[in-house]
Amino acid sequence: MTSNARLRVGRYELGRTLGEGSYAKVKFARNVETGANVAIKILDKETVLRHKMITQIKREISTMKLIKHPNVIRLCEVMASKTKIYLVLELVTGGELFNKIANCGRFKEDEARKYFQQLINAVDYCHSRGVCHRDLKPENLLLDSNGVLKVSDFGLSALPQQIREDGLLHTTCGTPNYVAPEVIHNKGYDGAKADLWSCGVILFVLMAGYMPFDDSNLMSLYKKIFKADFSCPSWFSTSAKKLIKRILDPNPQTRITIAEVIENEWFKKGYCPPTFETADVNLDDVDNIFNESGDSQNLVAEQREVRPALMNAFELISTSQGLNLGTLFEKQMGLVKRETSFTSKLPAAEILKKIEEAAKPLGFNTEKRNYKLKLQGEKCGRKGPLAIATEVFEVAPSLNMVKLRKAKGDTLEFNMFYNNIATGLKDVV
């Protein structure tokens, strides 16, 4: 495999991409001074300015600095170069809770309760600090190596200063299936009550393996949410059903509160309150990342080091949770991961050529650079066109690892895509 440039930012060496959204990428990184592994969220300043997102980014950073809790992703430090903003985050290697649901189908009640307790601990703490998350869903709940739940992605969070004179929030945001009816009504809502509704949907998903409110037609979906039109499966215990129905109350005034949830008998079974230290937080440096004068202490240099495109041991270990050396195409109870990996003894260029050949008949345009391949769907799916990022890493001289990751679009459509290309890749895996 030919040489590939690896970026170093300050004392961090950047590795593979862990995930990406419309405005940011998250990369694996290693502190070259301590050897510690972290995740770094990278935002382009020009994009942030062009889309008038300065306030939102400052809010996300301020939120994460305010919150120091064992069930919330920790922000280690903030850096900026002349062109980029870098958020150095705690690296969580256990994957998304979404993936665990995908593998298990659903959880037994005791395990679902354990995760729900941790989720409520985190959300209750955020609310005590004046922060509402506003986009709670399994994809934003990560697990560490010990299976401890960590809430992530505060890009849509709301701080107290966003509350209007009527004491309510007025921005419609979040993911439709998990959003409270009052948020959709767009007449103002209590962020804490809306967050609890999302927690109720998550609890249902953990125990049922599917969503309480689902419909391919958005208006039909909204009608179901407005009426709280759902039914609990027969395997839910009576006390779990009662709690879920009190959380998924379409009237926020009569909906159960988090304080009442914590006192609920079903919730309290095996409950361990979190222990942690609170620290004084200074938000003065949040403005520094947009300081163009060049004298900010957070301004870091970006250096490219030419190195072979090898997957280092620390990167390989970090992928082991989702690494399946036997097969790429596994069925997972109708739900899927947003990223998958497989190994191949074929040369990297040949692997990418085979993927291109398999993807083009399915209506995907391809763009190749070095050993990365972007697949862009021509059709507009449920969440826009599907985009897939593919990258080949050299693990050993005669062994490559291939990672396919959904960059944009719907997760289930990504599942259909890689099931469809299975036949064309059988001689590659």
Q: CA of 180: how far to CAs of 152, 153, 161, in Å?
A: 19, 19, 21
Ranges for all domains in the chain classified under CATH 3.30.310.80: 322-425
Does 41 belong to an annotated binding site? yes
pLDDT < 50 regions, the chain: 1-3, 155-174, 293-294, 306-309, 321-336
pLDDT in tens, 160-184: 333 334 443 334 444 688 888 888 8
pLDDT in tens, 199-228: 999 999 999 999 999 888 888 988 999 999
Four-point Cα dihedral 244, 246, 251, 257, nearest 10: -100
> 325: number of CA atoms within 13 Å, CB side?
6
Instruction: Give pLDDT, residue 128.
Output: 83
Those residues whose C-beta lies under 8 Å from the C-beta of residue 348, and which sit 6 or more positions away, are: 1, 371, 392, 394, 400
Active site residue 135: yes
How far apart are the C-alpha atoms of 316 and 243, rounded to whole Å?
42
Instruction: Give pLDDT, residue 149.
Output: 93
Q: Enter the CATH code of domain 322-425.
A: 3.30.310.80
Instruction: Give pLDDT, residue 169.
Output: 33
Q: Are 60 and 344 in contact (CB under 8 A)?
A: no
Instruction: Give pLDDT, residue 322.
Output: 45
Q: Enter the CATH code of domain 3-92+287-307.
A: 3.30.200.20
Whose tokens are 């072979």? That residue is 308
pLDDT in tens, 77-122: 888 888 888 888 888 888 888 888 888 889 999 999 999 999 999 9
Q: Are 27 and 389 in contact (CB under 8 A)?
A: no
Q: Enter the CATH code of domain 97-268.
A: 1.10.510.10
Ranges for all domains in the chain classified under CATH 1.10.510.10: 97-268
From the list 124, 135, 190, 249, the catalytic residue is 135
